[in-house]
Amino acid sequence: MIKEITTYPTTASLEFGANVRHFNDELLSIIQDLKDTIEANDLNALAAFQIGSPLAVVIIKNEDGSYLELINPKVLKREGQATPRETTAFFPGLSAQTIRYDKIKVMYEDRDAKQQFMEAEGDLSITIQRKIDYLFGSNFRVRMDKEEKKLFDSKLEFGTDSITINDCPTVFKRDRILHTFKYVFVASLVALFTKFFLAPEALETLISIENYSMIFLSFLIVIYFFYAQYEGKQYKHCTSCQIGNIIGTTLFSLVKLLVLFVANFFILW
């Protein structure tokens, strides 16, 4: 029978991972349910946890269409290291780079309760390790390094696999716009107070300069607001904090422009 696949954020309770002690029709039914669910969802493997069963059972589909049935599997020996990019039905649509053993030796029981041993390497080894993780109430997130966990948590938050490692820089290109704004703003304020030292015939020129300066500053604020958002989207880990910073900086710049306008109104016009 096809079962619904358990997905994040559902976690295993303490009863999960229990060793199979009764090799009966109930066990055979779970094994068949796993196979049916694998076929229906075009998967290559499932652990019993992933269809809501607490038993320590893993089913893997071989390339020839046959199935490997692992009951009460235990990893006895580990060799080498691999860093595969894994996907799992528990985190649909998401992937991550993990740290695994390249070769393993596994002890398990078959459906007749007979103890078996097998060695696996490459993709089969990775698959077995990933499914055994579920039997212990875990998942492949615990097999990631610190940076990959941080990246994967961002993928979970935004629900997309397109996020890449791209931490926020300390300096942005948009800062150049702010620097230009600052220099023009200060220059306009200084120029404004030169009114008291200029001949009357030079006032028209000063007024024109101040008007053009305020138009230019307004243009810079608009450019900053839209470009800063575009640039912020390139750094997925800190998008939310950047939006607040961009809005705050834009409002502060508007206040500065308003101050300059009021100063011109009362002093120059």
pLDDT at 13: 61
pLDDT at 149: 92
Q: What is the pLDDT along the chain (269 residues), one digit of tens a residue?
A: 999 999 998 876 655 667 899 999 999 999 999 999 999 999 999 999 999 998 999 999 999 999 999 999 999 999 999 999 999 999 999 999 999 999 999 999 999 999 999 999 999 999 999 999 998 888 999 999 998 998 898 888 878 887 776 555 556 778 899 999 999 999 998 888 887 777 777 788 888 888 999 999 999 999 999 988 887 776 655 555 677 788 889 999 999 999 999 988 888 77
Q: Tell me how far CA of residue 112 lies from CA of 5, 48, 53, 108, in angstroms.
A: 26, 18, 19, 11
Give phi and psi for 97, each to the nearest 5.
-90, 125
Pair 79, 65: CB distance under 8 Å: no
* Strand 115-121 relative to strand 103-109, pairing: antiparallel
Q: Tell me how far CA of residue 269 lies from CA of 5, 188, 190, 195, 233, in angstroms.
A: 73, 14, 16, 11, 42
